[in-house]
Amino acid sequence: MADFGNYIAKGKKGHLIGVGGVSMSPLAEVLSGFGLKLTGSDMAESEKTEHLRSLGIDVIIGHAAENLAPDVDFVVRTAAVHDDNPEIMAARELGIPVFERTQAWGAIMRDYKNALCISGTHGKTTTTSMCTHILMAARRDPTIMLGGTLPLLKANHRVGAGDTIVMESCEYYNSFHAFFPTIAVILNIEADHLDFFKDLDDVKNSFRCFADLVPEDGCIIANVDDENTMDALTPLNRPLLTFGLGQCAVVRGENLVSRGGKTDFDVIYDGKLFTHVVLNVPGRHNVMNALAACASAICLGVPGEAVAEGLAAFSGAGRRFEFKGSCRGADVYDDYAHHPGELKALFDAVEALDYSRVIVAFQPHTYTRTRALFDNFVEQLRRPTLTYLAEIYAAREKSIAGVSSQELAKKVPNSRFFPTLDSLEAALLELAAPGDIILTVGAGDIFKVGEALVRAN
Number of residues that this document lists for the chain: 457
Is residue 342 annotated as a catalytic residue, yes or no? no
| Residues 6 or more apart in contact with residue 224 via CB below 8 angstroms | 230, 240, 242, 243, 244, 246, 248, 249, 250
Is residue 124 annotated as a catalytic residue, yes or no? yes
Q: Rounded to an integer, what distance in angstroms lies between the CA atom of residue 303 and that of residue 394?
A: 45
Catalytic residue among 29, 87, 168, 342: 168
Cβ atoms of 235 and 201 closer than 8 Å: no
Is residue 168 annotated as a catalytic residue, yes or no? yes
Catalytic residue among 49, 102, 125, 164: 125
Q: Rounded to an integer, what distance in angstroms lies between the CA atom of residue 421 and that of residue 306?
A: 43
HEC string of the chain?
CCCHHHHCCCCCEEEEECCCCCCHHHHHHHHHHCCCEEEEEECCCCHHHHHHHHCCCEEEECCCHHHCCCCCCEEEECCCCCCCCHHHHHHHHHCCCEEEHHHHHHHHHCCCCEEEEEECCCCHHHHHHHHHHHHHHCCCCCEEEEEEEECCCCEEEECCCCCEEEEECCCHHHHHHHCCCCEEEECCCCCCCCCCCCCHHHHHHHHHHHHCCCCCCCEEEEECCCHHHHHHHHHHCCCEEEEECCCCCCEEEEEEEEECCEEEEEEEECCEEEEEEEECCCCHHHHHHHHHHHHHHHHCCCCHHHHHHHHHCCCCCCCCCEEEEEECCEEEEEECCCCHHHHHHHHHHHHCCCCCEEEEEECCECHHHHHHCHHHHHHHHCCCCEEEEECCECCCCCCCCCCCHHHHHHHCCCEEEECCHHHHHHHHHHHCCCCEEEEEECCCCCHHHHHHHHHHC
User: What are the two backbone dihedrals, phi and then psi, of residue 364, each rounded to the nearest 5 degrees?
Assistant: -60, 150
Q: At what angle do helices 47-54 and 24-33 cross, to 10 degrees?
A: 10
Catalytic residue among 37, 48, 124, 204: 124
Residues with active-site annotation: 124-125, 168
